[in-house]
Homo-oligomer: A and B are copies of this chain.
Amino acid sequence: MAKKAVVLLSGGADSATALACARRDGFDPCALTIDYGQRHRAELAMAEKQAAHFDAKHLLLFADLRPIGGSALTADIDVPEGRSVSEMAHGIPVTYVPARNTIFLSLALGWAESLGAGDVYIGVNALDYSGYPDCRPEYIAAFEKMARLATKMGVEGKQAIKIHTPLIGMTKAEIFRLGDSLGVDFSLTHSCYSPTQDGKACGRCDSCLIRLKGFNEAGIEDPLPYAVRK
């Protein structure tokens, strides 16, 4: 029987590729999706479909980050539109959710320990990463070290603890090519921060613009419908 690994699955294209990587690496992936009260709810349904696509166990956990505030993804702050990728590269954007990856990795760690698994996958990437501090390799290394001290499995030494970041050094184009080669169905992914009422990606937020540029560079057709597509 394959070893279990918990995979953080947001419903976006990167985490779908991370899920495919866990399968490639021989794990039995257990996909964890966090409903944190995000405005872009469409990704939750996509996560469920993507988990089914890869025949992975799926857990949807509710952890309400809205009262914490401080982000355009959960609070009533405007999501920026129409920025160039080089503009995005400067500073940390308003779509940053305070401590989000730390909260998500902690929840993943808790479920992993309960499952008897020491492996966690997260689809962060540090290249085309839109300025989030909690996507960098030094952050992941520090989390891993902390996790080994935090848990019963870590302290008792029965289980190695490893945070896998298969995409961390890749460009978006490389991620999409990898996902494509590993069988990700990109029509079952959602990346937009501000989808339209009829469920189309806006085509103007940072996330859409990075995604479209990546697909373009990868030479793969993005199967999603967009409200605006340059």
Q: Report A's interface with B, CB cutoff 8 A.
A: 59, 61-65, 67-70, 92, 96-103, 105-107, 109-114, 133-134, 136, 138-139, 142-143, 145-147, 149-152, 154-156
Closest to A37 in B: B62
A interface secondary structure, majority? helix
A68 & B111 in contact (Cβ 8 Å cutoff): yes
Closest to A139 in B: B149
A98 & B69 in contact (Cβ 8 Å cutoff): no
Cα-based distance from A93 to B139 in the complex (angstroms): 31
Cα-based distance from A110 to B136 in the complex (angstroms): 18
Cα-based distance from A105 to B65 in the complex (angstroms): 14
Cα-based distance from A154 to B139 in the complex (angstroms): 11
Closest to A92 in B: B152
Cα-based distance from A133 to B65 in the complex (angstroms): 26
Can you report 17 A-B residue pairs in the complex whose CB atoms are below 8 A from each other? Answer: A59-B67, A61-B64, A61-B68, A70-B110, A92-B156, A99-B106, A99-B107, A99-B151, A102-B106, A102-B146, A103-B103, A103-B107, A134-B151, A142-B145, A142-B146, A143-B146, A146-B146
Cα-based distance from A89 to B219 in the complex (angstroms): 60
The answer to whether A64 and B67 touch (CB under 8 A), given A102-B146, A142-B149, is no
B139 & A146 in contact (Cβ 8 Å cutoff): yes
A136 to chain B, nearest CB (A): 7
A143 to chain B, nearest CB (A): 5
Cα-based distance from A68 to B151 in the complex (angstroms): 14
> Contacts of A100 on B, CB cut-off 8 Å?
110
A81 to chain B, nearest CB (A): 21
B143 & A114 in contact (Cβ 8 Å cutoff): no
